[in-house]
Amino acid sequence: MARAQKIGLVELVVGIIALVGSYAIYNIFFHPLRQYPGPWYTKSSRLWFIVKVFRGTVVYDIKQLHDKYGDIVRVAPNELSYTNPDAWQEVYGRNNRDVGKLAIFKKDPTFYSGVFAEANFYADIEGEPYKKQKKALLGGMTRKANLLQEDVLLEISGRLIGSLQSSTVSEPTFDIHPYLQNAAMDIMMRLIIGLDLQAIHSGDVPHPTTVTTDRAFRLSILYLQFRRLSSLITDPLENLVGKLTLRFGMLDYMDFVTPLVQDRLKSSNPRPDFVSYMLPYLTTEEITKNAIMLTLAGSESTVSVLSSTLYFMLTKPKTFLLAQQEVRNLFHKASDITIEGSEQLVYLQACITEAIRLFPPFWGAAPREVPAGGAVICGKYVPAKSTVSVYHWAMYQTERNFHDASEFKPERWLGDKNEIESKAYNPFSFGPRICIGKEISLLVTRLTLAHLIWAYDFELSTESIGTGWEKPPAYMAPTRHPLFIKLRARN
């Protein structure tokens, strides 16, 4: 009996090895993407990709593959990554396919599912539902809408300045990141659901909502890798793993924000917010889900741009001084710094643009699926059902696209711009599905930074030098190390 069980176990192991080996051989030698360059371990299975995602290094490893193999790399059996700037148009814009028709590639069904499988909100949906929700959200993204919120932005900037002033009294050197994170959450809550969260009053302690946003992004992207495994593995575990991811990732944040949105829907806000723009077009469920994701994504991207711009400027004190002089020469008092006034800060905007290139809010890729009939991308045919992507960090760190790609050089965005660099740079994506929150994110960053560097003299503390701040573990968005600074109020 024992001998028979042993033989059965050996046969099972041999069978699994033969199955895995056959799968790898097919992917390397017979798969429709077999002609595309890449190492054998990315061609044979997705295991390498999944391991790198869990380690938080996948964007760096993909960039290294591009350095070795060129503009197009097969990073998984059914996925191609591009660093050719033309890929923005041909993957995310309207692709003039072989069949002679313009096509917009659909979102990759695996990536835009999983945790959000039935989310039914703007970022995930396609077709007419997408157009309806986009129309509803665009009302809150216009310049007119932004100007109506100017007093809110100035009020929260003032609170941030005051909170930092309190910190400099007790701690000459401190981590500014929690302050920026709390301020960003305050801004998004006010703009989207009209709530004065007052997270900034938490001082150097991150508000509970900001803690859950970090965890939500990380766990969501890890869960999506689980979904890319074979259905033989994922189907039995789907319900359990999905629930665990929701519980330890998104659910805490949803539990906090959902009642706030519902309270807002029951009240009449005297001033416009995003909910007021959505009300005529969307259902209560659609408004709630969009409000949750807007506060989550909006606060995360805003604090990323704020902290990275401040960090990179402080690594080059002369650059920081130039930006500070521009602000202080243009504005004689803090109350002069308005939305329209901040638009004249050309050098500060160049610093923001360059910081986003080195530390984009979204480091990974928004994968697309090639439609029926296939398509030509960067001069080569790609068969239908293939996943195609542009990884932001790889695109912006490639020397073929940016001279001195790893260097912080705001000057590259001043005067006559390099055509290739301008074409390669699309941190808010490209085409019909470009991030509609782009302008408000940049506006908030520019206005907040202008107030900060007008009011204070900054110095980067040695505690934040050589800590790996520029290359942190990166999942859907990068994790951020503490940003220790020395702060002195302006004389």
Most confident of 119-123, 277-281, 327-331, 464-468: 327-331
115 confidence band (pLDDT: 50, 70, 90): very low
Question: Residue 395 corresponds to which amino acid?
Answer: M
pLDDT of residue 285: 87
Reply yes or no on whether the pLDDT at 337 is more than 80.
yes
Rounded to the nearest integer, the mean pLDDT of the chain is 84
**Annotated binding site, which residues?**
435
Q: What's the pLDDT tens digit per position in 264-279?
A: 988 877 788 999 999 9
Instruction: Taking residues 147-167, report their average pLDDT.
Output: 91
Domains of the chain: 71-489 (1.10.630.10)
Instruction: Taking residues 163-168, report their average pLDDT.
Output: 80
User: Which is nearest to 152 in space by CA: 313, 345, 308, 339?
Assistant: 339
Reply yes or no on whether the pLDDT at 87 is more than 60.
yes
pLDDT of residue 457: 94
d(CA 321, CA 281) in angstroms, rounded, equals: 47
Report DSSP letters for 79-114, one per residue: EEEE-STHHIIIIIS-EE-TTS-EE-PEEPTTTTSG
Q: Which two tokens stand for residue 255?
A: 């539990």
Among 71-75, 228-232, 240-244, 250-254, the least confident range? 240-244
Reply yes or no on whether the pLDDT at 178 is more than 80.
yes
C-alpha to C-alpha distances, 296 to 80, 103, 189, 300, nearest whole angstrom: 29, 31, 10, 6
**Annotated binding site for heme, which residues?**
435
134 confidence band (pLDDT: 50, 70, 90): confident
Reply yes or no on whether the pLDDT at 247 is more than 50.
no
Instruction: Taking residues 430-440, report their average pLDDT.
Output: 86
